[in-house]
Amino acid sequence: MTLKRVLVVDDEASIQKVVSLSLKMEANWDILTASSGEEGISQAEIHAPDVILLDVMMPEMDGIATFEALCNNPRTQAIPVVLLTAKTRTAEKRLFQKIGVSGVITKPFNPLTLASQIADLLDWPL
């Protein structure tokens, strides 16, 4: 898999760690982490990652608000965003897809195929 830089935005340190572990181990991608929407936006501006993995439910600025801010920011609007969410209801999933994210990955994800799942969503060569 080509080397990619991934920004993981999640207020849960444990989830950041597990996602990083999984992506490092499977694809050896470069992982950046942020613990809030605001930090995610600023990291995205600085590092221009290839994809942002964004948790939906975060305190203060949630995933949807963060996504909107990323879309309205000329420096980050081109970065694909994949939502990571424990929400599984069909209606919510449809809503997420409607707002224009590149994909939705439901927690719990398969740690051994998370990288391939992201690559599939973004049509990255394996």
Partner 1 sequence: MRVLLIDDDDALTALLTQQLTAQNYVVDRVADGETGWAYSSTFDYDLIILDWMLPQLNGIHLCQRLRDQGYGVPILLLTAKDEQTDKVRGLEAGADDYVVKPFDIEELLARVRVLLRRALTETAPVLAWGDLCLDPISCEVTYHGQMVDLTAKEYALLELFLRHSHQVFGASTLLDRIWSSETFPSEATVRSHIRGLRRKLKAVGAPTDLVETVHGLGYRLKTQFRDLAHPTQGDRQARYLEGLTQAWRAHKGDSLERWNYLTQVAHTLTQKGLHEQQRTQAQQMAHSLAGTLGTFGLMEGYRLALQLEQLLHTTITFSPTQTAQFQTLVATLGHALDESPQLVCPLAENAPRPLELLILDVNEMPHIQQVTALAVAQGFQTTVAASIEAAAVGLSLLNPFHRDRLADPMAEAPDLVLVNLVAGEADPLLEEPILHRLLQFISQLTAAWPQLPVLVITPQADFGNRLDLIRRGGAIILEHPVIPAEVLEVITQATHPRDRLSKIMIVDDDAHHLHQVTQLLQPLDFQITPLTNPQRFWTLFTEVLPDLLILDIEMPHINGFELCQVLRSNPRWQHLPIVFLSIHSDVAKQNQAFALGADDYITKPIQGQNLVLRIQNRLKRYQACVRSPQMIKLAS
Instruction: Find the helix or strand (DSSP H, E) in which 69 lies.
Output: helix 63-72
Q: Which residues of 25-48 are buried (b: 16+ CB within 10 A; e: fewer)?
A: ebbebebbbbbbbebbbebbeeee
Give the C-alpha separation, 105 to 42, whole Å: 23
Q: How far is the CB of 100 from partner 1 (least distance, A)?
A: 18
Q: Which stretch binds partner 1 (CB under 8 A): 18-26, 31-39, 41-49, 74-82?
A: 18-26
Q: How far is the CB of 56 from partner 1 (least distance, A)?
A: 9
Number of residues that bind partner 1 (CB under 8 A): 30
Instruction: Please identify which residue in 6, 7, 9, 18 interacts with partner 1, judged by CB under 8 A.
Output: 18
List the structure tokens of 23: 């992506």
Of residues 30 through 59, those in contact with partner 1 by CB under 8 A are: 55, 57, 59
Give the C-alpha separation, 79 to 116, whole Å: 18
For 60, other C-beta atoms within 10 Å of its C-beta total 10
Q: Cβ closer to partner 1: 19 or 44?
A: 19
Q: Which stretch binds partner 1 (CB under 8 A): 28-36, 39-47, 71-79, 104-112?
A: 104-112
Q: Which residues bind to partner 1, rule: CB under 8 A?
A: 11-15, 17-19, 21-22, 25-26, 55, 57, 59, 85-91, 94, 106-112
